[in-house]
Chain A
Amino acid sequence: MHEVGVALGLLEGVQTTVIDRDVERVCTVNVRLGALSGVVRDALLFSWDVVTKETICEGSELRIEEVPLVVYCERCGTQRAPAPGTGLVCPQCRSVSSNIVRGREMELVSVEVPA
C-alpha cells in the first residue's frame, strides 16, 4: 500500500518534469531509496507497472538505487554503517547515534527519454 503511494508520487514527479519538454515516452526512471524509507523494492516495482498504465511512463523501467543506512558516530568521530536490524548502533563502539547521514532518501533522480 505504501508503495502504491510512493509510485504515484514518482509518476507525478516524472510527469511534471517531462511536461513541455517534447517527450513522447519515458524509458527509464532512476530513483534513490534509503534503507529507512520502509519501501519494499518488489512491491514498488509491481506498483510502478500498475500505476503507469496508460501514462507516458507505461512500460518504463524503474531503476532503484538502494542507499544503506549511515550514521555519524560522535564517539568515533566518523561515519558508520549500522548492521541491518541493530537500529542506529555504531558497529565499532556500540554507542547510539541520532544523527542519520544517509538512509532516509526517497528521491527521484532522473528520467531517460528517447533523444
Chain B
Amino acid sequence: MKMRVLEIAGNLRAKNEALASRLRERFAKSGTLVVNVLSSPGSGKTTLLVHTLSRFVSRYRTAALVGDQATDNDAQRLARSGAPVHQITTAAECRLDADMITKALAEWPQDELDVLFIENVGNLICPAEYDLGEDLRVVLFSVTEGEDKPLKYPLAFNTAHVILITKCDIADAVEFDRDEATESIRSVNPEAAVIELSARTGDGLAGWFALLEERVAEKQRLDRTEYLSTVTQ
C-alpha cells in the first residue's frame, strides 16, 4: 500500500511549557516565590512541609497546594500548620502539571502570596518532566533510599535547584555513606544547593529556612517588570 508521511514537529511538553510560562508571569507579577517539592513516596515531603509551613505562616503570606493520587491525608496534615492548603487529587496521573495548578488556583483564589509551596505526587520520574512555573525545584531523598538514587533518577536531580537529604538523624543506623551520596548528586548536578537535615530533630532546618527566606526576599526585591523580561528570554 502506498503511504504518505505527515511530518509533525511536536514536542509533547509544548502545551505544559506554555501554561507554565503563563504561571511564571503571573507569579512574577504577584512577587510570589513558588517552590515545587519532589521526591519518592516516603522521603518526608509532608513532614518537612509541616515544619516549613509552621514557620512561614506567621512571617509571610504562605499557602500550599498538595498533589496526591488518592486521599487528602497530606493536605490535612499540612493544614494543621494554619496555612491555607488546597488538595489536587490527580487520580490516574502520577504528577502535577501546569494545567492542574492553573485550575486549582482558579477555584481556590489566594490573595497575593509571598510563598506558594507545591507538594508534588510522590514519584521521581513523571514530575521531573513537568514545569509548574516554579522558582525553586526542591528534590528530597532520605538516607534510607540508597546513595545512588540521583543516578537512578538523573532528570529529577539534574533539574533541582535544591537537594535535601532527609532523615539524617538515622543516617548512622542505616550506614548512610555521605561521600557516596554527594558523589552521586554531583554526577548529575554540579550546582544545586545540598542541605542535610532531619525534620524530626530539627537539625539542618535552619539552613533550609534561611535559603528560602533569602529567595523570598530576592523575589520581592526584584522589580517585577524587570523580572518579567528575564523570565521571558
B206 within 8 A of A: no
Asked whether B11 lies within 8 Å of A106 as measured between CB atoms, the reply is: yes
Q: What 1/0 mask marks residues of chain A from 27 to 53 whose CB sits below 8 Å from any chain B CB?
A: 110000000111000000000000000
Considering the complex, which residues of chain A in the window 1-50 have a beta carbon less than 8 Å from any beta carbon of chain B?
A: 1-2, 4-6, 9-10, 13-14, 17-18, 21, 23, 27-28, 36-38
Asked whether B126 lies within 8 Å of A38 as measured between CB atoms, the reply is: yes
Q: Which B positions have Cβ atoms within 8 angstroms of A?
A: 1-13, 15, 92-95, 125-126, 128-129, 150-155, 158, 184, 186-191
Majority SS of interface residues in chain A? Answer: mixed
Asked whether B12 lies within 8 Å of A6 as measured between CB atoms, the reply is: yes
Please give the number of chain A residues whose Cβ is less than 8 angstroms from any Cβ of chain B in the complex. Answer: 37
Contacts of A23 in B (CB 8 A): 6
Query: When the two chains form the complex, which single residue of B3, B151, B152 contacts A112, counting CB atoms closer than 8 Å?
Result: B3
Contact A5 B190, CB 8 Å, known A18-B6, A38-B155, A104-B155: no
Please measure, in the bound complex, the distance between the C-alpha atom of A73 and the C-alpha atom of B128, giving whole angstroms.
23
Asked whether A98 lies within 8 Å of B191 as measured between CB atoms, the reply is: yes
In the complex, the chain B residue whose C-beta lies closest to that of A109 is B8
Query: When the two chains form the complex, which single residue of A9, A88, A110 contacts B6, counting CB atoms closer than 8 Å?
Result: A110
Asked whether A2 lies within 8 Å of B125 as measured between CB atoms, the reply is: yes
Q: List 14 A-B contacts (CB under 8 A).
A: A1-B92, A5-B93, A9-B12, A14-B8, A28-B3, A38-B153, A87-B187, A96-B186, A96-B188, A108-B12, A109-B8, A110-B5, A110-B8, A114-B4
